[in-house]
Structure 1
Amino acid sequence: MEAKLVKGLSLKALVDVEKNRVVFVESEDDLIDILLSFLTMPIGSIIRLIRDQPPVVGIGCMDNLYESVENLDVQFFRTEACKSMLLQPRNGAAAQCASLKLTIDDSEPLQYFCCESEKCTISQHKLLSHYRNAICGCGRLMSRKFDLTENKQLLLDARNRGVFVKGLARMIVSDELKIMPPGTATSFSLLSNLGLTDGSTIEERVFKIGVDQDPDFERFLKSDDHKAMLISPKVAPGFKLGNQPLGVEEYKHQQHFYYSYHIGYSYAAKLTCQETLLPSSESDSFRRTLLSVMDPKLHYMDNATSSGGFVIESTMFKVTDNLIITPISPMSGLTVLSKLKVPFSDIEERVVHVGKEEASRLLVASFVTKSALTNAFIQKYPKQE
């Protein structure tokens, strides 16, 4: 796992040397922003980042779910982009996390592709894709890659440097990752909770490195929008499903993408992003076209009423108790029963309903057990007489 590290990130820590444990660390906004950014990570990114790191531990059935997607042939997904979206999901707060001094998320930055035909981009379908080789409305591949040109204002005030918390905010972080405003009473409380009655076993150390909220913690956050990113993170645009029983919302930050070009000079074309809608450009040599961002889960000509899922709707899949997903076949069920050594006489068919409650139970079970389906449905749907 590679981490992006900026020189000079260090922590002052209070250590209980007798029990070899950290009591708490003091840090300004850099570490706090890094810790808070963990809350914005999609589950797929978390599984990918930790799966090969020692100690190697599984997270319930989630590692099986991730590996199932890896093993599924791309033909079972609605578009080529769908598999990539699941294995390397986008972070709804990616723009904010890009400013962190250290990040363990090695996901590639957002990319931008237009149709092979410049004429189509300028005057016909006017589409933009975040994934290479999506199918344009004209039938051509969207393979022309652009770098986004942005106008960023340099902020010199140190108070604006933080990502989620205000710059220069100094906080205390306990060993169990509680983030609290600094204070003598807070420090003594942490020491007392650990059974430390004097300073004989305490020493101060400096660590160099590559949430529960206190009622006073909100005043250290940059804005209510930044607070919402942490407490109620949303999926990145394009990742929302049409039929989502958990009610997960999509990040709706309004952005307008413009394809700008000079008449007769296609090499001068550039892609820009603006927060506000710009008036049309009608100069003699300069033109600007507003582009529409494609849903990567759908082909352009797909039915607009489609649910917009990741896999092809007509395909049937088998999901085992530990969430291994494979395409269904006449022999697949028999293979599972054979491996589990279950007599056919002990098998019965049941139908379950999956609403918000059931989906929530399944999500929780998938994190804490290797028998997610059993824990999510058997207790709720006991055997009928």
Structure 2
Amino acid sequence: MATPKVTLKLLINKKTNKVLFAEAGKDFVDFLFTLLSFPLGTVIKLLSKNRMVGCLGNLYQSIEELGDAFFQPKIGKATVLNPKIPFRPSEGGFVKGVITYMVMDNLEVKPMSTISSITMLNKFNVQEVGALEEKVIELGMDEGLNLLKASLQSQTVLTNVFLGA
């Protein structure tokens, strides 16, 4: 069974090979907001120790290898390794679906409008509209995990994940 994909439109400055911002719908914004609700143990488990930044993967592995006798009787290592996600939105998700959102390269989320798009172009000092390129991408499980990892390491997440910069 194929995993669901989320579509995202990137506005790229071809001269600098940077994502200026992405045009995103509810599905992508809900995905981003869900990342903040994950307990750290879940994040490490999702990324696996091979993809984990720093030494948290080592900490996770040491807990896996530690015998049950070292944990409090009613706690156990499963409490740390497989934490319960404290908040799961109902079927409605986090944000309203009738709005298009602007997601910046650093994952800042704003409602999108024509005026906000023009303001962003001015902010990035875009002189030539011909230097801009629209790229439609599909985000699946692998891209989602890469996005999670990049968000822990970088301020240019969309550029790093989708342009390989």
- TM bin, normalised by shorter chain, reads 0.7 to 0.9
Structure-to-structure mapping, 1:1-40, within 5 angstroms:
5-6=3-4, 9-40=6-37
3-state SS of 1:173 partner: strand
Partner of 2:58: 64
TM-score normalised by L of structure 2: 0.73
For structure 2, the residue ranges without an aligned partner over 5 or more in a row are 141-151, 153-165
Shift of 1:78: 2.2
Separation in structure 1 between the aligned mates of residue 84 and residue 22 of structure 2, nearest angstrom? 31
Bigger RCO (CA 8 Å, 6+ sep):
2
Tell me, what secondary structure is at the counterpart of 2:33?
helix
Q: CA deviation at 1:205?
A: 1.8
What is the rounded CA distance, in whole Å, between the counterparts of 2:110 and 2:37 in structure 1? 20
Rate the CA distance shift 1:209–1:58 in 2: closer, same or farther, 3 A. closer
* 1:38 CA drift (Å): 0.6
CA distance in 1, matches of 2:132, 2:59: 44
Give the superposition deviation at 1:51.
3.3
* Paired letter, 1:30: D
Contact 2:8 2:137 in 1 (8 A): yes
Q: CA deviation at 1:209?
A: 1.3
Distance of 1:89 and 1:173 partners within structure 2: 29
Name the structure 2 match of 1:342. Answer: none
Q: Percent of aligned positions with the same letter in both sequences?
A: 31
Return 5+ residue gaps in structure 1 as ranges. 100-161, 211-366, 368-385
Q: Does 1:189 align with 2:91?
A: no
Name the count of aligned residue pairs: 141
Per-residue CA shift, 1:218-264, capped at 9, x if unaligned? Answer: xxxxxxxxxxxxxxxxxxxxxxxxxxxxxxxxxxxxxxxxxxxxxxx
Deviation, structure 1 residue 176: 0.8
Q: Deviations over 1:288-336 (max 9, x none)?
A: xxxxxxxxxxxxxxxxxxxxxxxxxxxxxxxxxxxxxxxxxxxxxxxxx
Answer whether contact 1:18 1:201 (CA < 8 A) is retained. Answer: yes
Q: Partners in 1 of 2:62 and 2:52 — Cα distance?
A: 17
When the two chains are superposed, the root-mean-square deviation of aligned CA atoms in Å is: 2.6
Shift of 1:88: 1.3
Structure with more of its chain in helix, by fraction: 2
Residues 1:204 and 2:144 are matched in the alignment = no
Instruction: Give the superposition deviation at 1:193.
Output: 3.1
- Distance (Å, rounded) in 2 between the aligned partners of 1:32 and 1:23: 17
| Aligned mates of 1:67, 1:189 — CA distance in 2 | 47
SS in 2 for 1:25: strand
